[in-house]
Amino acid sequence: MSDTNIDSQSGSSIDTPEHRYTSALAQDIEVGWQDFWAENGTFHTPNPVGALADPNRTEPLGEKVFVQDMFPYPSGVGLHVGHPLGFIGTDVYSRFKRMTGHNVLYTMGFDAFGLPAEQYAVQTGQHPAITTNANIANMRRQLRRLGLSHDMRRSVSTTDPEFYRWTQWIFSQVFNAWYDDSPDVDGARPISELIEMFESGERCTPDGTPWADLSAGQRNVIIDDHRLAYISEAPVNWCPGLGTVVANEEVTSDGRSDRGNFPVFKRNMRQWMMRITTYADRLIDDLELLDWPDSVKNMQRNWIGRSNGAKVDFASDAGPISVFTTRPDTLFGASFLVLSPEHPFVDQLADPACTPGITEQIAAYRTQAEGKKEFELQDDTREKTGVFTGAYATNPVNGEPVPIWIADYVLMGYGTGAIMAVPCGDTRDFDFARKFDLPIPAIQEPPASWFEERDLDVTLDTRQWPEAFVGDAPYVNSTNEHLQLDGLVNKVEGIAVMNAWLERAGVGEATVNYKLRDWLFSRQRYWGEPFPIVYDADGNPHSIPDSMLPVELPETDEFAPRTFDPNDAMSNPESPLDRLDNWMNVELDLGDGMQTYRRDSNVMPQWAGSCWYQMRYIDPLDDERFCAVENEEYWMGPRTDVRPDHPGGIDLYVGGVEHAVLHLLYARFWHKVLFDLGHVSSVEPYARLFNQGYIQAYAFKDEREIYVEAAEVNGNTDEGWTHNGEPVTREYGKMGKSLKNAVSPDEMYEAYGADTLRLYEMTGGPLDSSRPWETRDVVGMYRFLQRLWRNVIDESTGECNVVDTPADEDTLKLLDRFRRPRRDGRAPLQHRHRQADRAQ
């Protein structure tokens, strides 16, 4: 093969030796070897059992390594050179592992459901499947040309019915499961076991009525209340501009959809939810088992937002007002309460006989609050507003009367809809107290340095404080006859002492609270996985038996949900599937004879397929199971030989940090459900996570702030930059088509070849750091490969010209200075250096 390639390489200029490593020769070599690898199945990786098993190969190939990239969405735009940075990194790693005695599972799939293909379909009428498959074919071509060593037999797309059949199957598993939080189980179990427990009386029904005395409908309500996938009438993020609801994670910090940038409104709607909250503790605690960047672990911890605090009851005329606080130790400083305007006690507390006009004031305040969106309400920099109800509650710790206010920054959906305000120690409460002239009792003595920085003498007269003091400091004024915080200096102790007193006194209890909410799981769109659910005449959901999966997407030529004026908050979703009556109504025998059912018109969110795709890489051809037990155990089972508490999962997972809380949290949740139900042996899907950096580039804007082609810009940092003679300004950041600074890999293959591009991308720094793209620097790597070639090949004859005389000692030392050490258990050089560094 190689000889033919080189013979075909004769047309170069007279000066160039016939067998020089030119871009044309590089291309011939590269395409030739890519064909060779494909024809010979060079990267085919054997499984222990099933269709991809090869008992003669698993053993000799050695220890397993499962390497995976976060799979891409097959965009129609194609790749630029910034995209494959991580892919090249995993390929180099996989190839290195193959050469050091490992059996490497490495492939690439496509996360292909989603909006762009659907929007293209809406505009052109072309079915999203056609667009998607064409885009996948183009991306596969671009990636193949890069020389990635994927086992292509394992490449899947989430849009393949053979793939989403199993996404639907997993959904059914989640739907037919409940969370048993008893200490000896603490995990998901099949719904059938819950029913048995109710029938036998081992478990009481919520109100104590014997199971046998309940009607079928009442039983259904109880069962559905336990399911890990359930339908809920709940506040959701309705996005009229997209015509669909979106998850909390898909709403930006300014309250808009991350796709399309439309306003998002909180509305009560009937939607599918996943009970991810039942896994909150395990999702936090098991982070300890993972070899992940601390930054990503922290983002997950913050997103789940577990905090220890207390529920405290303040007596009032309307009954005890419960507040949740993360700082019960500051209770002595609570000088007023703030209730959400919708709090059920408000009307009873606001007595127009005592406070004339209060009813009207509150009504007016509620009206203006309703017009605001949640992100506005949570914006701490906003001017504080509120209304005093005229009523007082009693602070349980010192018996002081505290005024009760309403304000829109307290949300009914979070906690109890009421807060205790401790203005001396909380910035928002401090601002509120200042504005409405409420007392600010000091309960901590800030350190002298705090006063110095603010140019103040040390004082506990908070009227002189410019702001709240937030932090640990000795408590003051925090003692009653049963309780003493004065003298303590840190909040952990303070909280423990206060919580013990609250429980003793019967006015509160220690609690754990979470920011995490259940996962909104339905979308009113077309291009997603249909739900494997039908509804009977009474509207009860039933999962479709496995034998009837997949529920394939029906054909249609109307792909759009109805969209509305982006600001029409009161519009209602109408999904594309709703319109297809022939598909929506179906006759099935689910065990009660043939009956008519109605299908679910929602589709799953684009995160569904990526929750479990690694298991399909393992066993892409298995049509009995989503993944054979033996194969999952081999590729993902816990590596107790590495660490006794190793959770199992993929050995190296590479992708962008932007997936820290969406994909990575959802995938962990599904994996844990599958683990609890006994379908997988690994506790976690991704043992080691690595965030690759980004390739960044300069972009140029003209005076109208419009991007110009970066490749056509002239100039330098001293003299400035011009485009067609006009001055332009330079900025540094992402690479992309819209920024007119994208460089396609195809250009680089043509100019230098894939090997040069790979080397250039890998040389810019450790894989986790970002690096600039400079097209003019690529040639440096090309010249290196030319020298390498010349050191081995005679450029005029194309023959190998190495000599068999031994190398001198100096060259050998240079060689051995960085070669991999022996396979006898000594750590690699680099690793030992790192340990030495840490030991300092």
Segment 744 to 783, residues that bind another protein, using CB under 8 A: 753-756, 758-759, 762-768
Instruction: Select the span of 24-32, 154-162, 614-622, 637-645 touching another protein (CB under 8 A).
Output: 24-32
Nearer to another protein, 460 or 762 (CB): 762
Per CB under 8 A, the list member of 40, 253, 381, 547 interacting with another protein is 40
Among 59, 207, 555, 804, binds another protein (CB under 8 A): 804
Neighbours of 459 (CB within 10 A): 13
CB atoms near residue 399 (< 10 Å): 9
**Binding residues for another protein, how many (CB under 8 A)?**
83
Q: Least separation, in Å, of the C-beta of 33 and another protein? A: 5
Q: Per the structure block, which two tokens stand in for 309? A: 């605090």
Q: Which residue of 7, 35, 36, 712 would you call a contact of another protein, by CB under 8 A? A: 36
- Supply the minimum distance, in Å, between the C-beta of residue 723 and another protein: 33
- Taking CB under 8 A as the binding criterion, the range among 31-39, 165-173, 385-393, 582-590 that sits at the site for another protein is 31-39
**Which residue stretch of 37-45, 305-313, 720-728, 739-747 sits at the interface with another protein (rule: CB under 8 A)?**
37-45
Name the minimum Å distance from CB 145 to another protein.
10
Span interacting with another protein, options 76-84, 419-427, 710-718, 820-828, rule CB under 8 A: 820-828
How many whole angstroms separate alpha carbon 794 and alpha carbon 798? 5
Single residue of 43, 166, 607, 721 touching another protein by CB under 8 A? 43
Can you name the residues that pair with 19 across neighbouring β-strands?
Answer: none
According to DSSP, residue 47 is labeled B
Contact partners, residue 31, CB within 8 Å, separation at least 6: 145
Residue in 538, 582, 823, 825 binding another protein, rule: CB under 8 A: 823
Query: Phi and psi at residue 503, in whole multiples of 5°?
Result: -70, -40
Give the Cα separation of 49 and 352 in Å (integer). 77
Q: Which is nearer to another protein, 207 or 837 (CB)?
A: 837
For residues 217-276, which are near another protein according to CB under 8 A? none
Closest CA to 677 of 187, 181, 184: 187
Q: Which residues lie below 8 Å from residue 515, measured CB to CB, with a gap of 6+?
A: 302, 303, 304, 305
Residue 716 binds another protein, judged by CB under 8 A:
no
Measure the CA–CA gap between 298 and 484, rounded to whole angstroms. Answer: 34
Give the footprint of another protein on residues 55-94 (CB under 8 A).
Answer: 61, 89, 91-93
Nearest to 206 by CA among 194, 190, 192, 193: 194
Residue 1: CB minimum distance to another protein, A: 8
Is 793 a binding residue for another protein by CB under 8 A? The answer is yes
Choose the binding region for another protein from 264-272, 337-345, 381-389, 788-796 (rule: CB under 8 A): 788-796
Does residue 814 belong to the site contacting another protein (CB under 8 A)?
A: yes
Choose among 269, 258, 246, 264: nearest CA to 567. Answer: 264
Q: Find the helix packing angle between 294-304 and 663-676, rounded to 10°.
A: 80
Residues in 456-495 at the binding interface with another protein, rule: CB under 8 A: none
Nearer to another protein, 143 or 391 (CB): 143
**Least Cβ distance, residue 746 to another protein (angstroms):** 16
Helix (H) or strand (E) holding 236: strand 229-239
Closest approach, Cβ 2 to another protein, in A, equals 5
Could you tell me the two tokens for 513? 């609270």
CB 824 to another protein: min, Å: 9
Angstrom distance (rounded) from CA 531 to CA 777: 51
Q: Which of 29, 105, 143, 742 binds another protein (CB under 8 A)?
A: 29
The rounded distance, in Å, linking the Cα atoms of 389 and 379 is 24
Shortest distance, position 51 Cβ to another protein, whole Å: 21
Residue 616 Cβ, how far from another protein at the closest point, in Å? 25
Taking CB under 8 A as the binding criterion, the range among 113-121, 287-295, 629-637, 804-812 that sits at the site for another protein is: 804-812
User: Phi and psi of 643, rounded to 5°?
Assistant: -155, 135
User: Is the CB of 41 or the CB of 401 nearer to another protein?
Assistant: 41
Q: At its nearest, how many Å lie between another protein and the CB of residue 195?
A: 50
Question: Helices 216-224 & 191-200, crossing angle to 10 degrees?
Answer: 130
Quote the strand ranges of 275-369, DSSP E: 307-314, 321-325, 336-339
Classify residue 172 by its DSSP letter: H
Q: Which is nearer to another protein, 362 or 793 (CB)?
A: 793
Pseudo-torsion of CA 407, 408, 412, 414, nearest 10°?
Answer: -100
Tell which one of 9, 20, 21, 255 touches another protein (CB under 8 A). Answer: 21
Q: Does 388 bind another protein (CB under 8 A)?
A: no
**642 belongs to the binding site for another protein (CB under 8 A):** no
Q: How far is the CB of 293 from another protein (least distance, A)?
A: 12
* Residue 825 interacting with another protein (CB under 8 A): no
For residue 618, give the nearest of 647, 646, 660, 649 by alpha carbon. 649
Residue whose entry in the numeric block shows the structure tokens 């107790």: 640
* Distance of closest approach, residue 530 Cβ to another protein, in angstroms: 40
Q: Which of residues 150-209 bind another protein (CB under 8 A)?
A: none
Looking at the Cβ atoms of 16 and 484, the one nearer to another protein is: 16
Question: Which of 371, 593, 806, 825 forms a contact with another protein (CB under 8 A)?
Answer: 806
Instruction: Report the distance separating Cα 484 and Cα 490, nearest Å.
Output: 13
Residue nearer to another protein on the CB measure, 150 or 525: 150
CA dist., res. 508 & res. 492, Å (int):
18
Q: Which is nearer to another protein, 14 or 839 (CB)?
A: 839
Task: Tell me if 82 sits within 8 A of 75, measured CB to CB.
Answer: no
The whole-angstrom separation of Cα 153 and Cα 50 is: 13
Which of 17, 23, 33, 398 lies at the binding interface for another protein (CB under 8 A)? 33
* 12/24 Cα distance (integer angstroms): 9
805 interacts with another protein by CB under 8 A: yes
Looking at residues 91 to 150 of the shown chain, list those that interact with another protein (rule: CB under 8 A).
Answer: 91-93, 95-96, 98-101, 147, 149
Only one of the segments 123-131, 453-461, 520-528, 797-805 lies at the binding site for another protein (rule: CB under 8 A); that segment is 797-805
Distance CA 688, CA 709 (A): 39
34 sits near another protein (criterion: CB under 8 A): yes
Question: Among residues 368 and 796, whose Cβ is nearest to another protein?
Answer: 796
DSSP letters for 471-509: S---B-S-EETTEE-BTB--HHHHHHHHHHHHHHHTSEE
Closest CA to 403 of 412, 415, 395: 395
Chain positions 674 to 703 lying near another protein, rule: CB under 8 A, are 690
Q: Are 27 and 750 in contact (CB under 8 A)?
A: yes
Q: Does 811 bind another protein (CB under 8 A)?
A: yes
Which region holds residue 553: left if phi is over 0, alpha if psi is between -120 and 50, else beta? beta
| Interface pick for another protein out of 38, 185, 512, 788 (rule CB under 8 A) | 788
Nearer to another protein, 376 or 746 (CB): 746
Which of 405, 341, 339 has the alpha carbon at shortest distance from 369?
341
Residue 30 contacts another protein per CB under 8 A: yes
Answer whether 735's CB lies under 8 Å from 711's CB: no
